[in-house]
Amino acid sequence: MRRSSANLLESPLSTRQSQRHTHGKNPLIADEIGTLMRRAPREVLLCYPNTYRVAGSSLGFQVIYRALNSREEVACHRAVMPAEMLDGGPLHALTSLEFAKPLGDYDAVLFSIAYELDIGNLAMMLLASGLSPLASGRDARAPIVIVGGPLTTSNVLPLGLFADIVVMGEADLAVFTLLDWFAQGLDRGAMLQAARDIKGFWLPNFHDDAVPNQLSVGGACLPALGAWHSPQAEFKNMMLLEASRGCPRYCSFCVVRAPVAPMREPELDRVVAALDLPEYRAAPRVGFVGAAVSDWAPIKSALRAAIERGKKFGISSLRADRLDEDDEFVDLLFQGGYRTMTVASDAPSQRMRGKMMKGIRERHLMGACEQARRVGMRLFKMYVIIGLPEEEDRDIDELIDFCQRLSQRMSTAITLSPFVPKLHTPLAQAPFEAVETQMKKLKRIQRGLGGRVDVRFDSPRQAYIEYRLSMGGMDMGHVILAAMQAGGTLSAWKQAFIQYDKAHGTQRPAVDAAQRHGLWPLTGAR
Ligand code: SF4
């Protein structure tokens, strides 16, 4: 979210290039391993509407980059949101990381988007490059704008005003349809025409709010492989590898839950073979990615294989009930470089975990903490969602009591995130708790823990914006643009919502559209 108070639409574009290239190489990728410096008759730009640090840690972004560079006739380059632009600095015409080629000179511009608030950054990246952020304002000479990514598993309607095509869900195979079009040199009109008949492609201008179902792929696409690693990525010097996709569980707040995205798993020998590829051999660290990767049966064998190859590793999600009684698993984590044990409680009390179908009990969390202490880790870290439906003070008090007991065993940190209802989950119609109530709970937790536990929290006000976008319809694009034009500050968003709410009766048009079209039942089942 931009924080500047500048009026962005009226700001003259800066002639200074924020992604400055020194000695022919952009400093952001100067120490990256795996950069592809390819030229081809057809060139497309893959954009990430956030910083390089975040983009570099997105395996999905890397998978698409790899696929779009798999044919001789097409080259794919990358662009990211410059950090100073994200912080409210002046707009800069964006150029590719690889060749400083302007965004507007590409045949197609693709965005991978993970998070509702990044939609505004997407609009600003187009605007900064001299293109209309609104699809209706771009003519036949403009590059086609194609969007995909994790956000497409939830509510995509607010993307509708900005995108020409949205690829819904898992794009591992669909990306090759796009690649064919690029290789054949289809123009914008021909691509839009062809896309109308393709399953999982949403053309907002054609389909309106009748969004198609998500695409999903089989386990044969796994392990999905990364393309580069860098000391400037959030996961430093780590080559990513997707060791499972989907989840076998049913947590009612989660868009990755079993009915939507059943667990798919690669064979162990394919994962081990990937570790022997040159790009993985060259990386100091390997990241095993997956929403439920600690549920992947051969995970310990894969970790052992990484250790035998001299690698440190990270795992994107650890479930406490896989660790609490498994000494071997925790020993492997320690050998792989783990000094912080991070798990999710996802609700403040046992009562709420039960209601959310989380399947984690206090004894699992305490057991994981004991295990971390046993092997000599330094910190136990826990993610907790607050503001869940029917949550009461007694649930918050239980969290305080539990964290006190954890902190008597080892240093403990918790990160509190406000509950944001998501489309296509059983809680899609649940309320978003008032920001004031959330703030009171945060203060109660901080007071109750009295500095004994490191308490961090995601901003409830920012979560409110996420909530509005996660429930918004296509016209939410105007709110996004207005808020970004006014600087992207919290007060800019507030004003934009006030104006919108004066003219509209409902805050949940996404739910209305889902019900009207009967495309995705609200339970998330397909
Ligand atoms: S919260 Fe985690 S365990 Fe629960 S459904 Fe989502 S990915 Fe699976």
pLDDT at position 519: 59
Residue that finishes a domain, picked among 440, 464, 488: 464
The predicted model gives 208-218 an average pLDDT of 93
The mean pLDDT value of the chain amounts to 92
Residue 496 has pLDDT above 50, yes or no: yes
Of 249, 253, 382, 383, best ligand 1 pocket probe by most atoms within 8 Å of the beta carbon: 249
Main-chain dihedrals φ then ψ at residue 42, nearest 5 degrees: -115, 125
pLDDT at position 88: 82
Closest CA to 315 of 348, 293, 337: 293
Closest CA to 48 of 37, 39, 59, 38: 59
Same domain, 414 and 505: no
The string of pLDDT tens digits covering residues 499-515 is: 998 888 767 888 888 77
Taking the CA atoms of 434, 440, 445 and 451 in sequence, report the sign of the dihedral they define: positive
Main-chain dihedrals φ then ψ at residue 113, nearest 5 degrees: -125, 130
- Does the Cβ of 292 fall within 6 Å of ligand 1? yes
The predicted model gives 329-340 an average pLDDT of 98
Of 251, 315, 342, 523, best ligand 1 pocket probe by most atoms within 8 Å of the beta carbon: 251
The string of pLDDT tens digits covering residues 317-331 is: 999 999 999 999 999
Neighbouring CB atoms inside 10 A of 342's CB total 18
**For strand 165-167 and strand 454-457, is the pairing parallel, antiparallel, or unpaired?**
unpaired
Name the region of 167 (left: φ>0; alpha: ψ -120 to 50; beta: rest): beta
- Does the Cβ of 414 fall within 6 Å of ligand 1? no
CA distance 286 to 441: 38
Same domain, 457 and 479: no
pLDDT at position 12: 27
Confidence of residue 520 (pLDDT cuts 50, 70, 90): low
Name the region of 139 (left: φ>0; alpha: ψ -120 to 50; beta: rest): beta
The string of pLDDT tens digits covering residues 24-81 is: 689 999 999 999 999 999 999 999 999 999 999 999 999 999 999 999 999 999 999 9
The predicted model gives 171-199 an average pLDDT of 97
Structural element, H or E, at residue 166:
strand 165-167
> How far, in Å, from the CA of 112 to the mean position of ligand 1?
22
pLDDT at position 424: 87
The predicted model gives 184-205 an average pLDDT of 96
Closest ligand 1 atom, residue 257 Cα? 5
Residue that finishes a domain, picked among 418, 448, 464: 464
Same domain, 126 and 153: yes
The string of pLDDT tens digits covering residues 133-142 is: 999 999 999 9
When divided into structural domains, the chain yields a total of 2
CB 512 within 8 A of CB 506: yes
pLDDT at position 2: 44
- Does the Cβ of 260 fall within 6 Å of ligand 1? no
Q: Annotate 173-232 with DSSP letters as a single string.
A: THHHHHHHHHHHT--HHHHHHHHTTSTTEE-HHHHTT-PPPPB---GGG-SEE---B-TT
Same domain, 514 and 370: no
Residue 13 has pLDDT above 90, yes or no: no
- Does the Cβ of 492 fall within 6 Å of ligand 1? no
Structure tokens, 68: 């779009």
The string of pLDDT tens digits covering residues 385-420 is: 999 999 999 999 999 999 999 999 999 999 999 999
CA distance 103 to 111: 12
Tell the residue nearest (CA) to atom 4 of ligand 1.
Answer: 251
Residue reference for tokens 């995970």: 299
Residue at 482: amino acid letter:
A
Of 247, 295, 419, best ligand 1 pocket probe by most atoms within 8 Å of the beta carbon: 247
Same domain, 353 and 469: no
Residue 246 is part of a domain; what is its CATH number? 3.20.20.70
Residue 523 has pLDDT above 60, yes or no: no
Same domain, 96 and 236: no
> How far, in Å, from the CA of 315 to the mean position of ligand 1?
15
- How far is residue 412 from each of residues 358, 367, 372, 402, 456, measured CA to CA in Å? 21, 14, 11, 11, 11
Structural element, H or E, at residue 420:
none
Give the 3-state secondary structure of residue 267. coil
Neighbouring CB atoms inside 10 A of 314's CB total 19
Closest ligand 1 atom, residue 248 Cα? 8
- Does the Cβ of 247 fall within 6 Å of ligand 1? yes
- Does the Cβ of 263 fall within 6 Å of ligand 1? no
pLDDT at position 512: 81
Main-chain dihedrals φ then ψ at residue 164, nearest 5 degrees: -85, -40
CA distance 190 to 195: 9
- Does the Cβ of 368 fall within 6 Å of ligand 1? no
Half-sphere exposure of 32 (CA within 13 A, CB side): 26
Range of the domain at 256: 219-464
**For strand 285-289 and strand 238-242, is the pairing parallel, antiparallel, or unpaired?**
parallel
> How far, in Å, from the CA of 247 to the mean position of ligand 1?
6
Of 252, 256, 346, best ligand 1 pocket probe by most atoms within 8 Å of the beta carbon: 256
Closest CA to 288 of 311, 261, 322: 311
CA distance 118 to 161: 14
Same domain, 425 and 277: yes
pLDDT at position 506: 67
> How far, in Å, from the CA of 358 to the mean position of ligand 1?
8
pLDDT at position 18: 39
pLDDT at position 124: 95
Q: Which H, E and C letters describe 276-340, residue by residue?
A: CCHHHHCCCEEEEECCCHHHCCCHHHHHHHHHHCCCEEEECCCCHHHHCCCHHHHHHHHHCCCCE
Give the 3-state secondary structure of residue 505. coil
Structure tokens, 430: 């649940």
- How far is residue 343 from each of residues 136, 292, 294, measured CA to CA in Å? 45, 12, 11
Percent of the chain at pLDDT > 70 equals: 93
Neighbouring CB atoms inside 10 A of 499's CB total 14
CA–CA–CA angle 262, 151, 503 (5° rounding): 130
- Does the Cβ of 469 fall within 6 Å of ligand 1? no
> How far, in Å, from the CA of 195 to the mean position of ligand 1?
32
Confidence of residue 91 (pLDDT cuts 50, 70, 90): confident
Closest CA to 420 of 461, 489, 470: 470
> How far, in Å, from the CA of 254 to the mean position of ligand 1?
6
The string of pLDDT tens digits covering residues 277-286 is: 999 999 999 9
Beta bridge partners of 242: 224, 289
Tell the residue nearest (CA) to atom 7 of ligand 1.
Answer: 291
Of 257, 323, 383, 424, best ligand 1 pocket probe by most atoms within 8 Å of the beta carbon: 257
> How far, in Å, from the CA of 251 to the mean position of ligand 1?
6
- Does the Cβ of 251 fall within 6 Å of ligand 1? yes
pLDDT at position 515: 77
Same domain, 186 and 253: no
pLDDT at position 525: 44
Same domain, 257 and 401: yes
pLDDT at position 20: 47
Residue that finishes a domain, picked among 430, 464, 498: 464
Structure tokens, 331: 């020993």
CA distance 111 to 147: 5
CA distance 102 to 501: 38
- Does the Cβ of 249 fall within 6 Å of ligand 1? yes
Same domain, 273 and 339: yes
Same domain, 28 and 73: yes
- Does the Cβ of 347 fall within 6 Å of ligand 1? no
Same domain, 150 and 92: yes
Residue reference for tokens 């439906």: 389
